[in-house]
Structures are given as C-alpha cells and as structure tokens.
C-alpha cells in the first residue's frame, strides 16, 4: 500500500504543488491547513483535508489517530518578512509553537520522518556566494530567525526521540503547475514575479523596483528562482533518503543561477509580450544584495535533478496560471 503523507500547509502556494506531485507519484495524502493564508480551492480533491491549526495538539492528535501517517511535510508557516519585523511574536507563535506541537503529536504517534520548509532567510546577508549548505546562518529578520529556531529544534528532537528530519532551504520559489490549474495567490502579494505579471495584466500601472544601488552588476538585487515542481520533487527525494535509513540533514535548493530584478522584468516582457512599465523606488529594507544557492549537495546526496533551468520557462508557467486566473483562486 502507498505511504500516507501529511502535508501541513497543503492549501498554500508551495503546499498545493507538493500535494499534486505526491498524488502524481502514487502517494496517499492528508492535508492539514487552517486556511489562514491558504485557499480552500487550492485543496486537492484527491487528498483528505482536515481544517485546523498545527498549534492545536488535540486537533493534530485526532488526525494522527484517524490516519495511518508515515511522514510529515511541514510547510505551514507565516512567511512575510516585513510583517515579521513589525510583529515578531506572531511569527514565533505560529511558526515555532506550531512545530513544537507537531513534534509532540508525531512523538506520541511514533511518526519518524519530517521534511521541513526552511529558507534562504536563515542565512541573512551571506558573505560568500553561491551559498553552501554549511554557510553560517545569521538571520536578519524574525521570519528567518523563527525558521532557524525550527531547524535547531529538529536537531535536538532527533537526538532525544529519534525523529529524523531534512530541512530544505528554498531560495525564491517561483512558477506554477504547467496546466495553470494551481498557482501563486498570496494576499497581500509581496513576491516579484506575481507582481510583475499583475503589472503585465494592467492590474497596476507600474512595477516598483526596490533599489538600484546594490552591489550587483546592474545595481538591482540578484536572486535565485527555483520552480516549485522541482522543489516538490526534492521533498519526495528527501523523504526516500530518510526512509532508506540516512541521517537528518539540511540542503539548499535553488537553480544556482542568479537573476537581477531588471533581468527578471526583461524576461517577463519577452514571455508576456507586454510592456510592463517599471520604475526605480527606494530600497525595501532587509534585502541582501545577492542570494544564490549552491545546491550541489542536494544533487549529489539526494539525487535532485531540477527540470526547470530556464527562467523564461519558469515565468511562462506563472503567466499561464495568471492568465487563467487573473483574480487567483477567486476565479476558480
């Protein structure tokens, strides 16, 4: 029988693609989500959905009692950096306490494997690029700090209870399922590519490029955009890696190619064939110059082979979703 995997946060952007990919590969899937930032319409009808909060131990225990879960993919979190700076306790409460409760329920039900959505934000302002898995983790905002605390919790929980885990530190998640049936719909939207595509659709007049005086070739921030289906694939490989008896570990996931904000705008103009007006605006605050992943260990140890190595293809998948669902899940 197929393994049953719990995806906590499975109604969110990355979670909904994770659920899709697990089902494609024959897994049985249970979704836990409180719909705080996720969407009921993003819930895959082939999965069993439990609406509730990961901070609620009674709720989690009920799910683990009803379902025969072999592993947990832990994607639920708050993840808006400026909000975390204004309201850090909201982030420590949701992200860190949520993980404490999840581990308590897993321990009580003898569930041995967890794959965790970590982030490049745990590195802060890295001194070296590309960023290796072993680079110093010095977060510069409460969101990154909460995720680093969660990574550290994983180490001690493994030592005490033998729950094995892999932290996957995504750089910039981007794109959508190719058929445009699910995609990115955050409210408020803060991510570059969906905001560019909103501008392409004429929903806003001008894209604001936050800062052109960074220490990069064209002065705008350089980021590493990785397709979410490639991310989802890495989770399945990480799960197999743990189930094969390997030790807990952490890996950086990116495409290993950096693009400046201006390069992303230029690529989006080519994909959409729209003018996409853009203007320079002051720095947003808290943005490191350059964030590019060194994903060589994920490739070597997990056997990860990202499929999307062309930024135009990645943007095209996001554009297909946007054209089919201009108002996101409201249009579904």
Q: Contact residues for ligand UDP (CB under 6 A)? A: 172, 190-192, 195, 207-210, 221, 223, 261, 284, 287
**Under 8 Å between Cβ of 190 and 13:** no
Q: Which two tokens stand for residue 62?
A: 């009920």
Cis, peptide link before residue 130, omega less than 30° from 0: yes
**Under 8 Å between Cβ of 232 and 308:** no
Of 117, 16, 121, 71, the C-alpha closest to 243 is 71
**DSSP-assigned letter for residue 293:** B
Determine the interface stretch with ligand NAD among 62-70, 167-175, 267-275, 301-309 (rule: CB under 6 A): 167-175
Q: Using CB under 6 A as the criterion, what x/- string covers residues 28-47 for binding ligand NAD?
A: -----xxxxxx---------
208: partner contacted, choices ligand UDP, ligand NAD, none (Cβ within 5-8 A by kind):
ligand UDP
**Under 8 Å between Cβ of 253 and 18:** no
Q: Are strands 278-281 and 207-210 parallel, antiparallel or unpaired?
A: parallel
Q: Identify the active-site residue in 50, 91, 113, 143.
A: 143
223: partner contacted, choices ligand NAD, ligand UDP, none (Cβ within 5-8 A by kind):
ligand UDP
235: partner contacted, choices ligand UDP, ligand NAD, none (Cβ within 5-8 A by kind):
none
How many helices (DSSP H) and strands (DSSP E) are in the chain? Answer: 11, 14
Task: Report, in Å, the least distance between residue 290 CB and ligand NAD.
Answer: 16
Among 6, 15, 262, 317, indicate the residue that binds ligand NAD (CB under 6 A).
Answer: 15
How far apart are alpha carbons 80 and 86 in whole angstroms? 10
Task: Report, in Å, the least distance between residue 159 CB and ligand NAD.
Answer: 23
Phi-psi map region of 106: left, alpha, beta (phi>0 left; psi -120 to 50 alpha) = alpha
Nearer Cβ to ligand UDP, position 105 or 292?
292
For residue 329, the Cα-to-chain-centroid distance in whole angstroms is 18
Alpha helix stretches (DSSP H) within 164-285 = 192-200, 228-243, 261-272
Among 28, 30, 55, 197, indicate the residue that binds ligand NAD (CB under 6 A).
Answer: 55
Task: Report, in Å, the least distance between residue 116 CB and ligand NAD.
Answer: 8
Catalytic site includes residue 143: yes
Q: Say whether residue 238 binds ligand NAD (CB under 6 A).
A: no
Q: Using CB under 6 A as the criterion, what x/- string covers residues 98-127 for binding ligand NAD?
A: x------------------x-x--------
Nearer Cβ to ligand NAD, position 113 or 275?
113
How far apart are alpha carbons 223 and 229 in whole angstroms? 18
195: partner contacted, choices ligand UDP, ligand NAD, none (Cβ within 5-8 A by kind):
ligand UDP
Among 5, 6, 7, 14, indicate the residue that binds ligand NAD (CB under 6 A).
Answer: 14
Nearer Cβ to ligand NAD, position 18 or 209?
18
Q: Which two tokens stand for residue 326?
A: 């201009």
How far apart are alpha carbons 293 and 119 in whole angstroms? 11
170: partner contacted, choices ligand UDP, ligand NAD, none (Cβ within 5-8 A by kind):
ligand NAD
Nearer Cβ to ligand NAD, position 28 or 53?
53
Of 10, 81, 69, the C-alpha closest to 44 is 10
261: partner contacted, choices ligand UDP, ligand NAD, none (Cβ within 5-8 A by kind):
ligand UDP
Of 226, 230, 204, 217, the C-alpha closest to 238 is 230
Between 13-24 and 228-243, two packed helices, what is the crossing angle to 10 degrees?
60
The residues annotated with a catalytic role in the active site are 143
- Residues engaged in binding ligand NAD (CB under 6 A): 9, 11-15, 33-38, 53-55, 75-77, 79, 94, 98, 117, 119, 170, 172-173, 186
């Amino acid at each position: 029988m197929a393994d049953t995997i719990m995806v906590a946060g499975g109604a969110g952007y990355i979670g909904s693609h994770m659920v899709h990919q697990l089902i494609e590969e024959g897994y049985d899937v249970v979704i836990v989500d409180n719909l705080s930032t996720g969407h009921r319409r993003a819930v895959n009808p082939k999965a069993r959905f439990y609406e509730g909060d990961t901070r609620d131990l009674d709720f989690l225990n009920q799910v683990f009692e009803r379902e025969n879960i072999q592993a947990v993919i832990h994607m639920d979190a708050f993840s808006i950096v400026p909000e975390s700076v204004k309201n850090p306790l909201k982030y420590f409460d949701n992200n860190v306490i949520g993980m404490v409760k999840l581990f308590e329920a897993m321990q009580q039900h003898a569930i041995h494997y967890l794959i965790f959505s970590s982030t490049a934000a745990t590195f802060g302002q890295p001194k070296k690029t590309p960023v290796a898995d072993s680079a110093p983790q010095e977060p510069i905002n409460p969101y990154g700090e909460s995720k680093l605390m969660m990574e550290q919790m994983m180490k001690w929980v493994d030592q005490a209870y033998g729950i094995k885990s892999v932290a996957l530190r995504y750089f910039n998640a981007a794109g959508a399922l190719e058929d445009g049936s699910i995609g990115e719909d955050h409210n408020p939207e803060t991510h570059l590519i969906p905001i560019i595509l909103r501008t392409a659709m004429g929903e806003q007049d001008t894209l604001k490029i936050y800062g052109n005086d960074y220490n990069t070739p064209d002065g705008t921030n350089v980021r590493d955009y990785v397709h979410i289906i490639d991310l989802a694939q890495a989770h399945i490989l990480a799960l197999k890696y743990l189930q094969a008896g390997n030790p807990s570990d952490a890996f950086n996931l990116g495409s290993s190619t950096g693009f400046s904000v201006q390069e992303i705008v230029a690529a989006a103009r080519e994909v959409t064939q729209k003018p996409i007006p853009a203007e320079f605006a002051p720095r947003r605050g808290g943005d490191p110059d350059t964030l590019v992943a060194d994903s060589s260990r994920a490739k070597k140890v997990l056997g990860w082979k990202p499929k999307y190595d062309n930024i135009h293809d990645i943007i095209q998948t996001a554009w297909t979703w946007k054209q089919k669902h201009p108002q996101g899940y409201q249009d579904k």
